[in-house]
Chains A and B, each alone.
Chain A
Amino acid sequence: MATKKFMYLNRKAPYGTVYALESLEVVLIAAAFEQDVSLAFIDDGVYQIIAGQNTDGIGMKNFSKTYNALGDYDINKLYVSEQSLSERGLSEADIMPIVYEDEDDDWAEKSSIKIVSNAELTKIMAEQDVCLSF
């Protein structure tokens, strides 16, 4: 089966609507298809991967830890908009550590998070074959 570049475009905060959770469910299934997968977190989508989420007070499942599993599925390109972070008073330090083990580099643990400028996002988007928006 041919490999295509799939982009998952996440622009909504978690919990208020189900889009973030159900987007993550697609990404986990997508791993089995061995496609080239990238995730983009833009606008309020950056809150999906913010550290310190605690849902005890709202009676909903905290699914933020699941992002940590992505590395085990060879999904390690999580692009986060620098502009969206800074507009919200956030920086890389506010994002959960999400890592993968690089098989090409003696299984060294590396960050899956890449903070990107709009110019970099433009270039990444232009390479995609399929863009799934949630």
Chain B
Amino acid sequence: MLHTVNKSSFERNSLQSCLDIIDEKSVILLLEDGVICAADNTKSSMLAQLAADGKVFALKGDVEARGISAKLAENIQLVDYSGFVDLVVEHGTAVSWL
């Protein structure tokens, strides 16, 4: 599955709720304010292991718009909208954690 998270974990618990039930075959795409979860900050440990496993993606346009390109946590993979489409196609059912 592809799980998308569009909220900062400083604002809502969408990322935590996603992490609570994500399975080992799934990946996460961070978009909109969700890219704040991709920045190196006090909540980065939430995603560190999944990122190290290559399962965390962030939408490049949203990262750049929020000025955090140089402040990303380790192992976050950037994708453009075309890459977003590929993730949807490759990973089956999409689940949005709004």
A residues in contact (CB < 8 Å) with B: 7, 9, 11, 42-43, 83, 118, 121-123, 125-126, 128-131, 133-134
Contact = CB atoms under 8 A, between A and B. Distances in A.
Of the four ranges (under 10, 10 to 19, 20 to 34, 35 or more), the interface on chain B belongs to 10 to 19
A83 B20 contact: yes
Contacts of B89: none
Contact of B96 (A118, A128, A133): A133
Given A43-B13, A126-B1, A121 B96 contact: no
Contacts of B90: none
Nearest to A5: B93
Interface of B: 1, 13-14, 17, 20-23, 25, 93-98
B95 A133 contact: yes
Contacts of B97: 11, 133
A75 B21 CA distance: 23
Contact of A125 (B1, B13, B98): B1
A10 to B, nearest CB: 11
